[in-house]
Amino acid sequence: MFGDYSLGDLGSIFVMQGFAGLILFSVYVLMALGLAIIFGQMGVINMAHGEFMILGAYVTWMTSSFFQSYLPSLFSGYFFLAMILAFIASGALGMLVEWVLIRHLYKRPLDTLLATWGLSLILQQAYRSVFGAREVGVELPQWMLGSLHVTDSIEVPINGVFVMCLTVLITISVAYVMYKSRWGRQVRAVVQNRIMAGAVGINTEKVDRYTFGLGCGIAGIAGSAFTMIGSTGPTSGQLYIVDTFLVVVFGGAASLVGTIASAFSISQTQSTLEFFMSGSMAKVLTLLAVVGILMLRPQGLFALKVRK
Amino acid sequence: MINSRFFNRSELMGFIALAAVLFVILPLTLDVFRLNLVAKYLTYAFVALGLVLCWGYGGILSLGQGVFFGLGGYCMAMFLKLEASSVENTKIQSTPGIPDFMDWNQITSLPLFWQPFHSLTFTILAIILVPGVFALIIGTAMFKRRVGGTYFAIITQAVAAILTILIVGQQGYTGGINGMTDLRTLKGWDIRPDHAKVILYFVEVVLLFACIGIAQFIRLTKLGRILVAMREQEDRVRFSGYSVANFKIFAFCMAAVFAAIGGAMFALNVGFMSPSFVGIVPSIEMVIYTAVGGRMSIFGAIWGALLVNFAKTSLSESFPQLWLFGLGALFIAVVLAFPNGLSGLWADYVQPRIDRLFASRKPKRDWKDNSVADGAPAE
């Protein structure tokens, strides 16, 4: 099968395929970061995570349409405002959901799964009623179109590079918030021992609400980034939810490094395999490998050693 | 203490009510089309029954029951499809005698794993054994390593996703997204006309009651007690010397086999099988039927499967937009307000009234204490 390509061509193909994997990696990381906070730290199975992401995507789409019709001169910068709005919208909805629904279910993690699945159905239908069943695409500003020519045969799309930079930035800020800030310390304290955290004066309910909001807000940003590489429909979120959960579980819940490592290995495996076989078989093999490894090592790649 | 009677009084009433509705009332009042719809809903009742054992009693939430439903259904459908693709039925194809979708995908001979499905005996064994062994492998790998709870749920969900992608992707071997359609006869007996549908309905109901009997038997023996004990305090059961993993594997395999029987009946009653009954969404819906009916109640889960599906059909026929809102709200309401589902409501509100009715009719006998004890919610 390699007979038709010269060595240089093959090299370029691997680089470009690897780059496609990196874009997939960015979306996985952005989605999985939010989920790692919600599932890994709080133990809540949020099946509606994909819908929070899609909310971010729709907010981005609305912002871009608004700029297009009313502020065309500022259109090239709309994305930064859209991202902030997406974070706020998804985060606010997340905090509302936590207050109405999730806080009653902390002791029943499997039930959160059912309740959030119900929530995801409601949100999907709401998107369908408001935005229509058809997928919407965001128009990219001029500077994001086109691609960078690295060598004669290798070129990488600018929007992909942008998404990757964004991912790095957000990952660093999340790591900073979780591990360096006072609030992050409170979150980790509540996760490790809720009663003692309450006893030393941490408002655990408030911490729960903001943690859930933060996880959903990051999902919103993920949706915002997602609009640059694909179109958005009411059920787009559902396509990613299982992959994302696998990323989080595979990396070892509660470990941000593990999440990133597993997102990287899953996305690279998948995009490399896609070159050799059909997309569906590549996905099947990747998922099978992940499930197989999880059966051998159920705690995931990077497990925290916690005494239970 | 093990109850010496097979059913206590409230369960006996549940049994009689269900038998009356399924054997007498529905066949007499519904036309064949609607009866066939009920038969379709009842295939999910098998899955719900398995989930009561595995989730309600064993505390193992599997989000991959669609996998077993699908495996059972596909085994049955492969047999039926082979019979429908006899050489004279398929003589217009470029390769006669193989299923039509294989011909469309340029496959010229029957793949090896299809060959044994010419035999009905093999097919029936496969319907039980393929999902059973598959569940055994997954269960052994997971439970022996003490993986449980949310992790198990997510991994079974991933398995459901994998199987769906595989079936859709390998359309030459599986029929792809359309599934296996145009199933006609079972050993020469046409399954499509009305009288066949009625017979299949009764076969299914009899099978369902057989499964109810098995589930009730498991529940009443020591095995059922250990399952409940395991759900409540897994470590204590382990310290008492029981192999927790083996009991979990058993419950999971039973649930898988029940789901597979449901799937096989689905292929027979509905006349096709497709990946849309295998994946993540149908698997979660199956869990929902159980949750709505009551995860702790064998009869409740069957009512749940019937009622939710009935509501789904009638609501989505008339208000397609509202249906998803309603379904979503139903999940949330069941989880937040009625964790024991309909059967929990029944046990809390209706059963005490019935008991009082019985108690007031027989005030002079000394049975009153007995009946109060009986009326306590089962489990």
Cross-chain Cβ contact A242/B330 below 8 Å: no
Q: Mind telling me how many Å the CA of A17 is from chain B's nearest CA?
A: 21
Model pLDDT, residue A96:
94
* Alpha carbon distance A166, B38 (integer Å): 52
B162 in contact with chain A, both atoms CB, cutoff 8 A: yes
Cross-chain Cβ contact B61/A113 below 8 Å: yes
* Alpha carbon distance B131, B114 (integer Å): 17
pLDDT higher than threshold 80 for residue A18: no
pLDDT higher than threshold 70 for residue B83: yes
Q: Mind telling me how many Å the CA of B37 is from chain A's nearest CA?
A: 24
* Alpha carbon distance A273, A266 (integer Å): 11
pLDDT higher than threshold 80 for residue B9: no
* Alpha carbon distance B332, A115 (integer Å): 5
Q: Which residue has the higher pLDDT, B234 or A77?
A: B234
B135 in contact with chain A, both atoms CB, cutoff 8 A: no
CA dihedral B37, B38, B39, B40 (to 10 degrees): 50
Cross-chain Cβ contact B147/A298 below 8 Å: yes
* Alpha carbon distance A266, B17 (integer Å): 52
Of all residues in chain A, what percent carry a pLDDT higher than 70?
Answer: 94
What residues of chain A lie within 8 A of the CB of B168, using their CB? Answer: 280
Nearest Cβ partner of B321 from A39, A125, A278?
A125
Cross-chain Cβ contact B331/A129 below 8 Å: no
- What is the distance in angstroms between the CA of the first residue and the CA of the last residue of chain A? 52
Phi, psi of B296 (to 5 degrees): -100, 0
Chain A residue nearest residue B330, CA to CA: A118
Structure tokens at B116: 């044994």
Nearest Cβ partner of B169 from A126, A242, A278?
A278
Model pLDDT, residue B40:
92
Nearest Cα to Cα of residue B189 among B178, B175, B199, B202: B199
Contact B185, B83 (CB under 8 A): yes
The distance of Cα B240 from the centroid of its chain, to the nearest Å, equals: 32
Rg (CA), chain A: 20
Contact A266, A28 (CB under 8 A): yes
* Alpha carbon distance B252, B238 (integer Å): 18
* Alpha carbon distance A272, B130 (integer Å): 32
Cross-chain Cβ contact B145/A129 below 8 Å: no
* Alpha carbon distance A169, B303 (integer Å): 52
Nearest Cα to Cα of residue B136 among B252, B48, B285, B277: B252
pLDDT digits (tens, 9 = 90+) for B35-78: 999 999 999 999 999 999 999 888 888 988 999 999 999 999 99
Nearest Cα to Cα of residue A91 among A214, A177, A183, A221: A214
pLDDT digits (tens, 9 = 90+) for A44-66: 888 899 999 999 999 998 988 88
Q: Mind telling me how many Å the CA of A159 is from chain B's nearest CA?
A: 29
pLDDT digits (tens, 9 = 90+) for B330-371: 888 888 888 888 888 888 888 888 878 877 665 544 444 444
* Cα distances (Å, whole numbers) of residue B194 to A260, B32, B151, B172, B212: 57, 6, 45, 32, 27
Mean predicted confidence (pLDDT) in B372-379: 42
* Alpha carbon distance B67, B162 (integer Å): 9
Q: State the pTM of this model.
A: 0.85
Q: Mind telling me how many Å the CA of A296 is from chain B's nearest CA?
A: 8
pLDDT higher than threshold 80 for residue B379: no
Phi, psi of B88 (to 5 degrees): -75, -30
